[in-house]
Structure 1
Amino acid sequence: MLRIDSLEAGYGAAQVLFGVNLEVAAGEVVTLMGRNGMGKTTTVSTLFGLLPVRAGRIEIDGRDMTRAGSHARARAGLGLVPEGRQVFPNLTVEENLVATARRGGPWNLGAIWALFPRLEERRRNMGDQLSGGEQQMLAVGRALMTNPRLVVLDEATEGLAPLIRDEIWSCLTRIRDEGAAILVIDKNADALSRFADRHYVLEKGQVVWTGSNADLLADAGGVKDRFLHV
């Protein structure tokens, strides 16, 4: 579904990514982990065309999308749950969802209400009238309404209460069951190891560790101590 090959990117004179390689197969849950400031969000920005590629290649379904615009990548099947939620504050919950809707897949308003019943209860509330957890659910639902083939979640549980985090994590299984691949950007190895298939770890803009979920569980302490703890 997605292949990132030898990706380099940065801001102005500062280079942030140095030859990043990453793959996500159809129906697979893959994580990109690392401490703050190691290049995770830069990778997401480059993947979605918000930051130009300096070198390397991005393929979606075998098509070269390295120089494609953000709209073309969305049409190719990428859906983003951005860091910081970024819901539309002056639209209702339902309007936030309908604004991004695309037909032709399993995700519609009924499916989102079933996934997040709390959103249906708040469907007429404005985006800025929701709690942080409800806004995160709305951000996930908004991405799903585009009926993506690959959902990218950038720090989707940052700053949320443990119960809300668990609710967000549990919904990923349903998303995968509906046929979408998932790329999760986070640093919570314990939670991610419960449902992910494979993992990548970024350190100073480079992939320094990659392996299966079994590999992570076998060396969880080593990976966390070397690359994830502050």
Structure 2
Amino acid sequence: MSPSVPLLSVRGLKAGYGGAPVLFGVELEVPERGILALLGRNGMGKTTTVRAIMGLVTPQSGEIVFADAAMAGAPPHRIARAGIGLVPEGRQVFPTLTVEENLVATSAPARAGLPAWTLERVYGLFPRLAERRGHYGNKLSGGEQQMLAIGRALMTNPRLLILDEATEGLAPLIRAEIWAVIRTLKGEGLSILVIDKHVDVLAGLADRMAVLEKGRTVFAGTPAELMADPQVRAAYLSV
């Protein structure tokens, strides 16, 4: 794939639940080996967008293209096998499996062009998980669960990592650790789509930023362009 071609491209995405529309034409691109930050207030369609990308919500119309392959409407297992790993909102670790069992449960072969993710690499990225490898998922702190959710997604050896609410509810020190990990993963060539509320931090990490408002993309551009436009931030990101 040419570096100028996005790894993930979403065009005109419309989707909803039980006949109630939520997305009305979402447009976004995740650059190859780069980061897209997806922003917007609560209830604007960010998680629904992620669920549609992952095949957990069936799009009503629009295109989802990943690594030159059409994915709109594909089943979740095909999308995961194609190379998209999800860190869901709320972490959703397996509560009655140990840390190590959580990680091994999702492991998949390495992909060409990217270093393989193994237990050793995940434990190197998150030493706390190595210390807690025998503990059950429901006995971990919120920060440890988020580390585990990221490690579990990495064990699928994805080309694209999606983090929905990457640092929600985490203490400042843990947030800083998660941001450092995201920066490390980007440096290793992993493409990332990240949703979070900390716009200033994301502006220092992301290559591109997109803002959703009521199920539509109302801004798409560089961090510099977003930070230079106080009207967009005030209209669509302020609480």
TM-score by length of 2: 0.93
Residue 52 of structure 1 aligns with an amino acid whose one-letter code is T
2:126 alignment counterpart: 116
Q: Deviations over 1:51-71 (max 9, x none)?
A: 111010111111111121111
Q: Is the CA contact 1:203–1:227 (under 8 Å) kept in the aligned structure 2?
A: yes
Q: 1:160-183: CA deviations, max 9, x gaps?
A: 111111111110111112221000
**Which residue identity lines up with residue 158 of structure 2 in the other structure?**
P
Q: 1:87 & 1:4 partners in 2: Cα distance?
A: 28
1:225 to 202, 219, 234: 234
Q: Aligned partners of 1:125 and 1:103: how far apart in 2?
A: 25
State yes or no: 1:190 paired with 2:200: yes
Whether 2:21 is the aligned partner of 1:15: answer yes
Aligned to 2:191: 181
Equivalent residue for 1:54?
60
> Aligned partner of 2:20: which letter?
A
Contact map agreement 2:211 2:218 (CA 8 A) in 1 = yes
Whether the aligned pair in 2 keeps the contact of 1:106 and 1:178 (CA below 8 Å) is no
1:92 matches 2:101: no
Superposed counterparts of 1:27-38, under 5 Å: 27-38=33-44
The residue type paired with residue 224 of structure 1 is: R
**Among residues 210, 216, 223, which one is paired with 1:206 in the alignment?**
216
State whether residues 189 and 224 of structure 1, in contact with CA within 8 Å, keep that contact through their aligned partners in structure 2: no
Residue-pair matches, total = 229
**Cα deviation per residue 1:79-125 (whole Å; 9 max; x = unaligned)?**
00000000001111011001101122421111111111111010111
Q: 1:160 is matched with which residue?
A: 170
Gaps of 5+ in 1: none
Q: Which amino acid aligns with 1:130?
A: L
Distance in 2 of aligned mates of 1:117 and 1:45: 30
Counterpart residue identity of residue 193, structure 1: A
Give, in angstroms, the shift of residue 187 of structure 1.
2.2
Counterpart CA distance in 1 for 2:63 and 2:14 is 9
Q: Distance in 2 between matches of 1:56 and 1:110?
A: 40
Determine if contact 1:8/1:54 at 8 Å carries over to the other structure. Answer: yes
Question: Which of these residues, 85, 90, 93, is aligned with residue 79 of structure 1?
Answer: 85
1-structure distance, mates of 2:207, 2:62:
25
Higher mean displacement: 15-24 or 99-108 = 99-108
Cα RMSD (Å) of the superposition?
A: 1.0
For the residues of structure 2 that align with 1:214 and 1:21, how far apart are their CA atoms?
19
Q: TM-score, normalised by structure 1?
A: 0.97
2:34·2:189 contact (CA, 8 Å) conserved in 1? no
Amino acid at match of 1:149: R
Deviates more, 1:63-72 or 1:130-139: 63-72
Structure-1 separation of matches of 2:123 and 2:19: 46
Aligned residue type for 2:193: L
What code does the residue aligned with 1:54 have? Answer: Q
Instruction: Provide the residue aligned with 1:101 in structure 2.
Output: 107
Q: How much does 1:12 deviate? A: 1.6
4+ long deviations beyond 6 Å: none
Contact 1:31–1:198 (Cα < 8 Å) also in 2: yes
Distance 1:217 1:227 in 2: 13
Residue 215 of structure 1 and its aligned partner are, at CA, apart by 1.1
Q: Aligned partners of 2:206 and 2:88: how far apart in 1? A: 19
Specify every segment of 5 or more residues in structure 2 that has no aligned partner in the other structure, as ranges.
1-6
